[in-house]
């Protein structure tokens, strides 16, 4: 039954034709008729002696063409007002029907495909066109017979509808219908693999873009003459949004981008000078809405921003300078950090909200702030930023910081990192911070170890592993010392029969990890302390054979109980102050010069100590005589008078600042040699770029780099090649 046999084409075709007509009209077809047609097609294609597929193809083609021509006539006679609507309805019906047709003719399609594949090997292009698959045929017929003939009327009608939508007039045909029509232009070319949008673009898109550009030109000229820049921008953005929505909803997706860029060209670029006339004023006056609008308009235009970034940067810089100049002198470091942070938050939010965190503007912000933070408040002095920031953190981390909750302190410390990022001389900050930390640890002024550790973690990422390590070392030392002290106390109680009349504890500090300046000052320990310090030394030497201990007296402090007054007082004081007072155990009055001789301190140091004691009225100075003040009284019982002598001396800060110079030079030399060893040969410019990228903790000036290179050449590590431009070679 499935064998090829004689087939009467005309008969079979008559039945098939009727079914096809019904399909095109979307009329229901009984099941078995549907199934029977499959067999008919199979039989026609496999007919013997000759297959009928050519005849089948031609007949089907003719049928389709007739049907579609009828539709065309209908459309043309029914008048232009409803043309689009009719086209849409007929198209929807047709495309449904032809899909069914395609699946009915499936056998035909499959054999046809195989056939044309083999034939194309033998035939050349100029021969009669090969048969298409039915699906493709139906679309081709529609294209040729309806779409092309309507090309004079339909595109225009479509464009008119869009114009009506633009001018807010009532539309004859709903835009959804138009969307379907436009899709038909694309679906009709479904089988054109190379450029399926060809019809759509030539038939509709190009005229549409042309009409749109005319509209935009007209509108933008009219608006720019009537409105101010702000109003123009607002209105134009509204139009842009509307056009975008319309394009996305009704047109093919490829048109959206073309439309937007054309819009920008006409409305923004052609009026660029108009917009820029006001743009600088907008920034200077901080008109945020306008700034946002102009950002939205210019962001996709090449070089659209012009010099706006510079204007923005200058604005921030000016504000920053005003802040710097009006800093309150009292606790200037607090105001420095907090005022700058306030400014930074303000402008950062502007960059985020108004400029959508655009890189161009956030870069301008960073440049401005790095100028502000590193600004030299006094001529010929390095920037005070590292010192101020360190003092600020110091204040927050000390016990004496009251009035702030733990969360607030943590928050403020985290914020200070923002300032830290902008500081150029990061290594100076590291040194000063370390000095402050040492003080806090020795004098047990830290609020909490958690807070300290948190701050170190914050800095670790920016300062590197080495620095954090040094700080951790300091913590470890303190911890170990506590353990040692308890051991010492136990040992002493065991060995000496008589208890020590005073309690004693020592902190052992590793030389490399602590920024202690070894004291070159001489000092004679008071008698009372000699025994226990010696005992401790012996104890330690026994425990750790081979280590050397050096006493740092000027960092020690002690507590004295004053029993010679009606009320008992406990005074915490620096060891130098204490030794002065201890001399008064046996005498009430002593000569100034005597005291000085016994103590063996340097003169100005001695002066400071005596003055501090006089100022708090424990002693009174009478010419050359120093007398114990028997009328001393104070509201509190526990006193601390170390603050006068322990304040940061400017020498300490200076020392930290200057010591970095040597470190920097060494670092730079090491970096250069390391780079050159890797690269062997490098041009001067490239070398400078490499150096700057590898130096994170400070910003080397060009002169500094050049000097270092010269030194290394002199030492024989590098040599300068004779070619121009300047090149260096590594000398092994």
**Minimum distance, C-beta of residue 192 to another protein, in the bound complex (Å):** 24
Q: What are the distances in angstroms from CA 309 to CA 102, 347, 353, 363?
A: 61, 13, 16, 8
**Minimum distance, C-beta of residue 24 to another protein, in the bound complex (Å):** 11
By CB under 8 A, is residue 16 in contact with another protein?
no
By CB under 8 A, is residue 15 in contact with another protein?
no
Contact mark string toward another protein, 84..123, x via CB under 8 A? ----------------x--xx-xx--x-------------
By CB under 8 A, is residue 42 in contact with another protein?
yes
Calpha distance 195→192 (Å, rounded): 6
**Minimum distance, C-beta of residue 26 to another protein, in the bound complex (Å):** 7
Residues in binding contact with another protein, number by CB under 8 A = 23
β-pair partners for 693: none
**Minimum distance, C-beta of residue 43 to another protein, in the bound complex (Å):** 8
Do residues 291 and 354 make contact, with C-beta atoms less than 8 angstroms apart? yes
Contact mark string toward another protein, 242..271, x via CB under 8 A? ------------------------------
Residue 12 or 440: the one with the smaller Cβ distance to another protein is 12
Region label for 360, one of left (φ > 0), alpha (ψ between -120 and 50) or beta (otherwise): alpha
Do residues 275 and 268 make contact, with C-beta atoms less than 8 angstroms apart? yes
By CB under 8 A, is residue 518 in contact with another protein?
no
Q: Identify which range of 23-31, 419-427, 486-494, 600-608 contacts another protein by CB under 8 A.
A: 23-31
Cis peptide bond upstream of 725, omega within 30: yes
By CB under 8 A, is residue 26 in contact with another protein?
yes
Secondary structure percentages of the chain, helix, strand, coil, to 5: 65, 5, 30
By CB under 8 A, is residue 137 in contact with another protein?
no
**Minimum distance, C-beta of residue 4 to another protein, in the bound complex (Å):** 9
Calpha distance 677→560 (Å, rounded): 61
By CB under 8 A, is residue 606 in contact with another protein?
no
Within 607-646, the residues that bind another protein by CB under 8 A are none
Task: Classify strands 619-622 and 718-720 as parallel, antiparallel or unpaired.
Answer: unpaired
Calpha distance 504→529 (Å, rounded): 9
Figure out which of the listed residues 8, 15, 18, 39 binds another protein, where binding follows CB under 8 A.
39
Calpha distance 569→565 (Å, rounded): 8
Nearest one of 303, 401, 316, 394 to 362, comparing CA atoms: 316
Residue 23 or 709: the one with the smaller Cβ distance to another protein is 23
By CB under 8 A, is residue 523 in contact with another protein?
no
Residue 34 or 274: the one with the smaller Cβ distance to another protein is 34
Q: Identify which range of 21-29, 336-344, 361-369, 463-471 contacts another protein by CB under 8 A.
A: 21-29
**Minimum distance, C-beta of residue 17 to another protein, in the bound complex (Å):** 16
Instruction: Supply the DSSP symbol for 374.
Output: T
**Minimum distance, C-beta of residue 35 to another protein, in the bound complex (Å):** 5
- The DSSP element (H or E) to which 262 belongs, if any, is helix 253-263
Long-range CB contacts for residues 532-540, cutoff 8 Å, separation at least 24: 532/492, 532/500, 532/502, 532/504, 533/504, 535/492, 535/496, 536/488, 536/504, 536/506, 539/487, 539/488, 539/491, 539/492, 540/484, 540/508
Residue 26 or 288: the one with the smaller Cβ distance to another protein is 26
**Minimum distance, C-beta of residue 183 to another protein, in the bound complex (Å):** 23
Residue 48 or 564: the one with the smaller Cβ distance to another protein is 48
In angstroms, the first-to-last Cα distance of the chain is 93
Within 694-723, the residues that bind another protein by CB under 8 A are none
How far from chain centre, in Å, is Cα 573?
Answer: 50
Q: Identify which range of 20-28, 60-68, 264-272, 625-633 contacts another protein by CB under 8 A.
A: 20-28
Figure out which of the listed residues 6, 35, 193, 561 binds another protein, where binding follows CB under 8 A.
35
The tokens of 500 are what?
Answer: 């020590």
**Minimum distance, C-beta of residue 51 to another protein, in the bound complex (Å):** 13
The tokens of 247 are what?
Answer: 């394009």
Figure out which of the listed residues 3, 6, 302, 499 binds another protein, where binding follows CB under 8 A.
3
By CB under 8 A, is residue 545 in contact with another protein?
no
For Cα atoms 423, 429, 433, give the angle at the middle one, nearest 5 degrees. Answer: 145
**Minimum distance, C-beta of residue 113 to another protein, in the bound complex (Å):** 12
For Cα atoms 188, 190, 195, give the angle at the middle one, nearest 5 degrees. Answer: 105
Calpha distance 713→718 (Å, rounded): 5
By CB under 8 A, is residue 289 in contact with another protein?
no
Figure out which of the listed residues 38, 115, 256, 704 binds another protein, where binding follows CB under 8 A.
38
Half-sphere exposure of residue 89: CA atoms within 13 angstroms, side-chain side: 10
Nearest one of 84, 99, 105, 69 to 185, comparing CA atoms: 84
Figure out which of the listed residues 6, 30, 330, 444 binds another protein, where binding follows CB under 8 A.
30
What b/e sequence results for 111-122 when a residue is b if at least 16 CB atoms lie within 10 Å of its CB, and e otherwise?
bbeeeeeeeeee
**Minimum distance, C-beta of residue 12 to another protein, in the bound complex (Å):** 14
By CB under 8 A, is residue 23 in contact with another protein?
yes
Q: Identify which range of 24-32, 294-302, 514-522, 694-702 contacts another protein by CB under 8 A.
A: 24-32
Place of tokens 């954090």: 468
**Minimum distance, C-beta of residue 47 to another protein, in the bound complex (Å):** 14
By CB under 8 A, is residue 8 in contact with another protein?
no
Do residues 104 and 23 make contact, with C-beta atoms less than 8 angstroms apart? yes
**Minimum distance, C-beta of residue 105 to another protein, in the bound complex (Å):** 9
**Minimum distance, C-beta of residue 135 to another protein, in the bound complex (Å):** 12
By CB under 8 A, is residue 675 in contact with another protein?
no
Q: Which residues are near another protein by CB under 8 A?
A: 1-3, 23, 26-32, 34-36, 38-39, 42, 100, 103-104, 106-107, 110
């Amino acid at each position: 039954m499935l064998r090829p046999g004689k087939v009467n084409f005309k008969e079979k075709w008559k039945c098939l034709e009727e079914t096809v007509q019904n399909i095109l009209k979307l009329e229901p077809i009984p099941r078995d008729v549907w199934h029977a047609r499959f067999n008919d097609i199979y039989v026609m294609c496999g007919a013997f002696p000759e297959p009928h597929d050519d005849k089948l193809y031609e007949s089907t083609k003719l049928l389709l063409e007739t049907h579609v021509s009828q539709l065309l006539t209908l459309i043309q006679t029914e008048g232009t007002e409803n043309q689009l609507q009719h086209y849409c309805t007929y198209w929807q019906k047709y495309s449904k029907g032809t899909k069914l047709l395609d699946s009915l003719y499936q056998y035909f399609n499959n054999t046809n495909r195989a056939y044309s594949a083999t034939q194309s090997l033998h035939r050349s292009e100029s021969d009669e066109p090969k048969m298409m698959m039915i699906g493709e045929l139906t679309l081709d017929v529609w294209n040729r017979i309806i779409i092309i003939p309507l090309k004079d009327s339909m595109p225009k009608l479509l464009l008119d509808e869009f114009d009506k939508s633009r001018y807010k007039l009532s539309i004859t045909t709903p835009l959804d219908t138009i969307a379907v029509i436009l899709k038909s232009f694309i679906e009709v070319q479904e089988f054109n693999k190379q450029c399926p949008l060809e019809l759509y673009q030539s038939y509709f898109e190009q005229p549409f873009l042309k009409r749109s550009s005319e509209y935009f030109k007209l509108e933008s000229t009219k608006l720019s003459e009537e409105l101010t820049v702000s109003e123009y921008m607002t209105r134009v953005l509204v139009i842009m949004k509307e056009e975008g929505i319309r394009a996305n909803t009704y047109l093919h997706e490829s048109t959206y981008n073309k439309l937007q860029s054309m819009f920008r060209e006409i409305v923004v670029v052609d009026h660029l000078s108009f917009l820029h006339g006001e743009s600088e004023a907008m920034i200077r006056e901080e008109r945020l809405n306008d700034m946002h609008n102009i950002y939205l308009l210019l962001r996709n235009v090449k070089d659209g921003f012009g010099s706006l970034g510079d204007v923005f940067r200058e604005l921030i810089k000016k504000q920053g300078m005003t802040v710097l100049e009006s800093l309150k002198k009292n606790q200037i470091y607090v105001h420095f950090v907090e005022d700058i942070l306030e400014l930074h938050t303000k402008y950062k939010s502007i960059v985020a909200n108004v400029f959508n965190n655009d890189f161009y503007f956030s870069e301008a912000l960073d440049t401005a702030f790095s100028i502000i933070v590193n600004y030299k408040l006094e001529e010929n002095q390095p920037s005070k930023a590292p010192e101020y920031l360190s003092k600020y953190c110091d204040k927050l981390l000390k016990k004496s910081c009251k009035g702030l909750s733990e969360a607030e302190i943590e928050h403020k410390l985290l914020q200070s990192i923002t300032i830290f990022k902008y500081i150029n001389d990061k290594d100076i900050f590291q040194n000063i911070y370390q000095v402050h930390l040492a003080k806090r640890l020795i004098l047990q002024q830290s609020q909490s170890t958690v807070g300290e550790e948190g701050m170190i973690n914050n800095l670790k990422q920016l300062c590197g592993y080495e620095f954090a390590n040094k700080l951790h070392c300091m913590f470890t030392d303190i911890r170990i010392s506590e353990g040692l002290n308890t051991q010492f106390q136990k040992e002493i109680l065991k060995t000496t029969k008589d208890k020590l009349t005073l309690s004693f504890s020592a902190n052992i500090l590793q030389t490399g990890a602590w920024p202690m300046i070894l004291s070159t000052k001489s000092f004679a320990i008071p008698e009372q302390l000699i025994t226990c310090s010696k005992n401790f030394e012996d104890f330690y030497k026994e425990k750790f054979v081979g280590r050397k201990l050096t006493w740092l007296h000027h960092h020690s402090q002690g507590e004295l109980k004053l029993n010679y007054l009606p009320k008992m007082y406990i005074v915490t004081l620096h060891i130098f102050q204490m030794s002065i007072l201890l001399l008064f155990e046996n005498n009430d009055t002593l000569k100034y010069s005597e005291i000085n001789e016994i103590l063996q301190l340097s003169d100005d140091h001695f002066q400071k100590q005596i003055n501090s004691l006089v100022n708090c009225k424990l002693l009174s100075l009478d010419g050359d005589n120093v007398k114990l003040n028997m009328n001393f009284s104070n509201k509190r019982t526990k006193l601390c008078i170390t603050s006068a002598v322990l304040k940061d001396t400017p020498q300490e800060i200076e020392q930290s600042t200057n010591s970095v110079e040597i470190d920097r030079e060494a670092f730079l030399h090491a970096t250069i040699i390391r780079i050159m060893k890797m690269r062997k040969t490098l041009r001067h410019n490239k070398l400078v770029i490499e150096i700057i990228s590898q130096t994170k903790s400070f910003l080397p000036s060009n002169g500094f780099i050049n000097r270092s290179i010269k030194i290394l050449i002199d030492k024989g590590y590098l040599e300068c090649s004779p070619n121009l431009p300047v090149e260096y070679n590594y000398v092994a």
